Structure 1
Amino acid sequence: MSKSSLQAPASVVMIRPHHFTPNAQTARDNHFQSQPAGTDSETIAQAAHDEVTQAAKVLRAAGVNVHLFEDTGTETPDSVFPNNWFSTHAGGHVAVYPMYSPNRRAERRQDVLDMLKQHYRVQDIIDYSGLEQDGLFLEGTGAMVIDHLERVAYAARSRRTSEILMERFCTHFNYEPIVFDAVDAGGQPIYHTNVLMCIGTDFALIGLDTIPDETRRQDVADRLRRGERDVINLTHDQIAAFAGNAIELHGKDGPILALSSRALLALDADQRARLEKHVTLLPLDIPTIEMAGGSVRCMIAGLHLSARPAAQDTKTGVIQ
C-alpha cells in the first residue's frame, strides 16, 4: 500500500437506515445528540435514508468505492454508524468490538464480514464482542482514532473505552496506545475520540483545548507532529459542529476529506486553506444524521484491506 492509502482508504462500508432515530440509550453520555422538535418519526427516518443515499452518491462520484448495505430493522437506531462495531487493518486484519449500549450490539452483521472476506484479503477476524458480558467496551474507531502510518491509537477516556481492552487491542494489532481525558465546553467527558480529532496523511484536526491536562495536551500534540503533520487546532464550538468528525479517503483525483456541510461552515478561512494544501474538501449534507450525535466519520467504516484480484474492478456496493 502507498503512504496515502495506508491512512486514506479508497473503499468504505456504509449502512443506509430505514428506521433512523436518535438513540435514547446513548443520549445518557452523548452530549452531541439533539432531539427533533415537531417532526414525526417517519419524516426523520426518510430524511436520514435520503441523506445516506446522497452521501454515498457524492462519495462514489469522487471515486470512492462504497459498499452500501441496507438496515431495515427497527431495533438498531444507530446502525448508520458502522465504524463503531468493526475496523480493518493492513495485512488482512479485522476487529469486531463490544458495544456499550445494549441496542447497539445488534448492529454487528455477518453479511458485512462475509463481504469483506469475499472481496478483500482477510487473514483473521479478532472478535472482542464477548467481553460485553464482562463490562468491557471499546467502540471501534469511534473510541479510538488510529494513525495507521505511525502505528498509534489515540483514545479519550469514557465509559465506551476500556483501557484494559484498548491495551489488548494495541498488543494484538501492534499500535502504541495514547490515552487521555477530554471534555466538552461544559466540562462533560467526550463520549468518542473521533468527535474531537481526525488524522490524515499529512494533517491532523484536533480540539486540543478539550484535553484539560496541559502536559498531556502537549504530549498528544507532539506525538501528532512527530509524523510531520500539519496539526490544526479546533475550538470547542467547532468540535460541537462536528469539525473533528471527518475522514480522509482516496478518490479518483487523489486524497479527499469527507466532512459534513455543517463542519465545513464551522472552519475558518485559514483552517480551510491549510487543509486544501493536502486534500480536496468534500462536504456531505447530513443534518438529520447529526441529530444522533455523530457525523461523517461515524458513518464511514474505512477498508484498510487489499482487494482480491477479482474484486479490483468493483466500483459499487454489494447491495445497491
Structure 2
Amino acid sequence: MVQQTTSTVLMVRPANFGFNPETASNNFYQKKDSRPAKEINDLARVEFDAFVKVLQEKGITVLVVDDSEEPIKTDSVFPNNWFSTHEDGRLLLYPMYSANRRLERRKEILEYLINTGYLVNEIVDLTFFEKDNQFLEGTGSLVLDRVNKLAYACRSERTHEVPLTYFGRLMGYKLVDFDALQAVGDQTMPIYHTNVMMHVGSELSIVCLDSIPLASEKLKVQEFLEKTGKRMVPITSKQKFNFAGNMLELKNKEGRKFTVMSATAFASLNKVQLQAIQRYTEIIVPEIPTIEKIGGGSVRCMLAEIFLPLV
C-alpha cells in the first residue's frame, strides 16, 4: 500500500555551507551575511545537529551523510532537490538550475543507501534535460500526493513544463500545475519552488492560495485538495515568506505523525492555524535561522524522504 508519509529521511551534514550567488537570482529568500565563512558553516552545523537530534528523539530514522569537503557545495544541506525515492524501488535524479548545485549529486550517497539495506531497483536519470536548460528540482519543484498520484507544481525557472510532463508520464502522476507569484520589492516574480508555498500531508494541506493569480488555477488546486480529502489550512503571503509553506509530514516507527516546521514558520502562524495542524499531527519545531537566512530554504528542503523498500 502506498504511503504518503515516511519514517525515514536522509540529511546531508554541511561541510561548506554558505551563500550561493548562482541561486540568489531567483531565490529571494537568501540573504548575504558578512560573517566569516567558517563561522557561518559552524553555526549551520550546530543547527543541523540539533535538528537531527530532535527528529531522532521522536523516533524518526535519520540517515546522516557528511558532505565532502571538495568540491565546495554551499547548498548540500538541501538534498531533496536532486533526488527522490519511491516505494517501487525507483530513485530519480533531477535536472537542476544552478550548475554548482549539480555537484551535490554524489554516487556515494546512492551507494550508502544501497549499503544500508535499501532496495534500488532502478535509477531514473532525468539530468539530460540540463543540456537544454530545462529543470525540475525534485520535491522542491514537486509537492507529491503519493497516495492519489498527484503532483502539484508551480511553473518557474526551476520547474519547466517539458520535464514536468515527462515526470508525470514516467511515474503515472496527474499534474496539477499552475503559476504562483510573489512580490519582490516593486516587482512580481514567480515563486521558485512549489514547496515554498504549499505542503501536502496525509490528511492536511498548507497552501498560500494568495500567491496563485489566476482564479481558475486557484480553484483547480482547491478542488484537487478537497477531492482528495485534505483539510486545507490557508497561509498568507507574509507567512509564506516566513517559510510557513515549507513543512513536511513524517511519522515515527509507531506510526505517530508529525508536521516538521521551523521556529520561524511556527512563530508566523496564528493560534487557529496551529490548532488545525495539531488536530492531525504533533508539531516538531527545529531552530535553523542561519540555514534559512543564508541558504534561503527551510526544514522541508533539508529532508530527503526515503520510501525505498528494505532488502
1:275 aligns with 2:273: no
Deviations 1:39-59 (A, max 9, x none): 221111100011111111111
Aligned 1:183-262 pairs, distance under 5 A: 183-186=181-184, 187-252=188-253, 254-262=256-264
Aligned residue pair count = 304
Which one of 12, 18, 35 corresponds to residue 21 of structure 1?
18
Aligned to 2:153: 155
Deviation at 1:162, TM superposition (A): 1.5
Q: Give the alignment's TM-score, normalised by structure 1.
A: 0.92
CA distance in structure 2 between the aligned counterparts of 1:196 and 1:62, rounded to whole angstroms: 26
Q: Percent identity?
A: 38
Which segments of structure 1 move beyond 6 Å, counting only runs of 4 or more? Answer: none
Kindly provide the amino acid, as one letter, of the partner of residue 76 in structure 1: K
Q: Does 1:62 align with 2:63?
A: no
The superposition leaves residues 70-104 of structure 1 with CA deviations (integer Å, 9 ceiling, x where unpaired) of: 11235211110000000011211110011111100
| Cα displacement (A) at 1:117 | 2.5
Secondary structure (helix, strand or coil) at the match of 2:21 reads coil
One-letter amino acid of the counterpart of residue 50, structure 1: V
Match of 2:39 in 1: 43
Q: 1:263-307 deviations in whole A, cap 9, x for unaligned?
A: 111111001001001110000110011021110000000011222
| Consecutive unaligned residues in structure 2, runs of 5 or more | none
Match of 1:285 among 274, 287, 303: 287
CA distance in 2, matches of 1:15, 1:229: 31
TM-score normalized by the length of structure 2: 0.95
Q: How does 1:8-157 map to 2 (within 5 A)?
A: 8-36=5-33, 38-71=34-67, 72-73=69-70, 75-118=72-115, 119-157=117-155
Structure 1: any 5+ residue segments left out of the alignment? 309-320
Decide whether the 8 Å contact of 2:85 with 2:91 is kept in 1: yes
Q: Partners in 2 of 1:249 and 1:61 — Cα distance?
A: 13
Task: Write the distance in 2 (CA, Å) between the matches of 1:159 and 1:304.
Answer: 28
Tell me by how many angstroms 1:252 deviates.
4.2
The Cα RMSD (Å) is: 1.2
2:218 & 2:196 partners in 1: Cα distance? 16
Please name the residue that 1:172 is paired with: 170
